Amino acid sequence: MEPYSLYVGGRWVKESEALLNVYNPASGEHIAAVPTASRELVHESIETAYNAFPLWSRTPAAKRAQLLRAVAQKIRENADYLAQVLTSEQGKPFSEARGEIAISADYFEWNAEEAKRIYGETIPASVSNKRLLALRQPVGVVASITPWNFPASMIARKVAPALAAGCSVVIKPASATPLSALELARIFDEVGIPAGVINVVVGNAAVVASEILNNPKVRKISFTGSTEVGQNLMREAAADLKRLSLELGGHAPFIVMDDADLDLAVSGVIGSKYRNAGQTCICANRLYVQNGIYEEFGRRLAKAVEALRVGNGMEASVDVGPLIDEAALNKVERQVEDAVERGGRVMVGGSRPNLPLSGAFYLPTVVDRIPHDALVAREETFGPLLGMWGFDTDDEVVSMANNTPYGLAAYFYGKDFARVTRMYEALEYGIVGVNDPVPTVVQAPFGGVKHSGHGREGGHQGLDEYLDWKFVSIGL
């Protein structure tokens, strides 16, 4: 791979505090060394974003839209290469990486269209000698902090609306997966996004975050990652009252009713749970199956899970790649051990596979007969383990599904319309997939409630996050 540099003020920065080594999580192979930013460089990137803001925010929406469309087009032209980089640093199967790159382009295209529709309002005054206007203006410099599980699309779904709104951005990607971010920076540079409008700094999270939090020129932080870090950011951002969007952890329930199409529900569980080796914030974590179909559903699910092929994501036949690192694998193992110690039955999987690869692989696993206070019932797993429980009534399953501090995504499989309606209304989640395991699209609001955070990404709601209302009252 080509040598990488950071991107600040339209300049490629090679000077570094220390080099960050990037490894292929499937093979353990060293794939790149990336410079890391000092606090001074993070400061400079905020300064340059601040200086670029007036010009960018005044650039006509049609021109901003044109540049965003050019980004989308370049991403599509380079999709295979970008997906290869993504799989090599993150591990997910190439076909999934290709999908992530495709939706990344879509975020830019969709927001390019939406940039032209940031309408204000005229408001009828109560007196004849006043005119009232409400305008929408960009919030200013935005800091985007992103996780490793979607190294490209998490950036796209923050940066595209921020640029559409007229904001300038400093991106801090996850240290495990900085390459996709720097590849995107190359594209931003090539299409001619003006210098300073987008900056990418890789580096020690505490150092970067400290500068972001303490610099009053940053007016908004858009964060995707763990609930714990999100809580810290919220506490610390309070001093300067920065705006925040927090896309945090999840613990999704997946409910299968006795009238569900069982094969559809099985493939839904597979799609929701084992995509990205279980490392998505909206992955099913707890499977609730109505008792009338429990045994039959369990048999069909175990068979389908057993058929999944684990290995290097660059091999076309592989369905499930490695976990990001040993720590992630240890968490899955701890949850499986805990479930088994409490009487759980491993229906399928339950161990590391035998592979000639050094990565952190774990077999897709389903465990049932687990008490409701087991770790897998309470903690986000972020790996290919699914806990399964039976239930009798709708009220019972709603109460089990909502019994968590998280509230990102929930899934429900069934056919009865009235029941479906009652169920999606009762689930305390930001997203509900009804007979749909992949409810992520560019045009709809994605985000959670409770400990899964607040704010939305995608849809016009995602754009609203980067805009303030300004009320203008004109006396005549």
Residues at the site binding ligand NAP, with contacts judged by CB under 6 A: 145-150, 172, 174-176, 205-206, 209, 224-226, 229, 232-233, 247-250, 281, 380, 382, 408, 448, 452-453
281 is catalytic: yes
**Nearest one of 236, 288, 239, 233 to 265, comparing CA atoms:** 288
Alpha helices for 18-60 (secondary structure H): 39-58
Alpha helices for 364-435 (secondary structure H): 375-378, 394-402, 417-426
Catalytically annotated residue among 281, 283, 457, 465 = 281
CB of 208 to ligand NAP, least distance (A): 7
CB of 246 to ligand NAP, least distance (A): 8
Between 64 and 158, name the residue whose CB sits nearer to ligand NAP: 158
In this structure, what DSSP letter does residue 291 have?
A: G
Between 353 and 445, name the residue whose CB sits nearer to ligand NAP: 445
Query: Do residues 39 and 45 make contact, with C-beta atoms less than 8 angstroms apart?
Result: no
Between 70 and 176, name the residue whose CB sits nearer to ligand NAP: 176
Distance CA 326, CA 26 (A): 11
CB of 277 to ligand NAP, least distance (A): 13
Catalytically annotated residue among 247, 380, 457, 465 = 247
Judged on CB neighbours under 10 Å (0-12, 13-18, 19+), 189 is: middle
CB of 263 to ligand NAP, least distance (A): 28
CB of 198 to ligand NAP, least distance (A): 16
Q: What are phi and psi of 150, to 5 degrees?
A: -135, 80
Query: Do residues 313 and 279 make contact, with C-beta atoms less than 8 angstroms apart?
Result: no
Between 191 and 431, name the residue whose CB sits nearer to ligand NAP: 431
Between 54 and 405, name the residue whose CB sits nearer to ligand NAP: 405
The b-or-e profile of 130-164 (16+ CB within 10 A means b, else e) is eeeeeebbbbbbbbbbbbbbbbbbbbbbbbbbbbb
Distance CA 287, CA 281 (A): 16
CB of 206 to ligand NAP, least distance (A): 5
Distance CA 322, CA 338 (A): 22
247 is catalytic: yes
In this structure, what DSSP letter does residue 292 have?
A: G
Question: What would the two tokens of residue 29 be?
Answer: 């192979």
Residue nearest to ligand NAP according to CB distances in the complex: 225
Between 365 and 452, name the residue whose CB sits nearer to ligand NAP: 452
Query: Do residues 406 and 447 make contact, with C-beta atoms less than 8 angstroms apart?
Result: no
**Nearest one of 196, 215, 170, 135 to 471, comparing CA atoms:** 135
Q: Are strands 30-35 and 19-23 parallel, antiparallel or unpaired?
A: antiparallel
CB of 302 to ligand NAP, least distance (A): 26
CB of 316 to ligand NAP, least distance (A): 26
Between 56 and 150, name the residue whose CB sits nearer to ligand NAP: 150
Task: State which amino acid sits at residue 278.
Answer: G
Q: What are phi and psi of 409, to 5 degrees?
A: -125, 150
Between 435 and 440, name the residue whose CB sits nearer to ligand NAP: 440
**Nearest one of 173, 181, 166 to 205, comparing CA atoms:** 173
CA gyration radius, the chain: 23
Give catalytic residues, as residue numbers: 247, 281
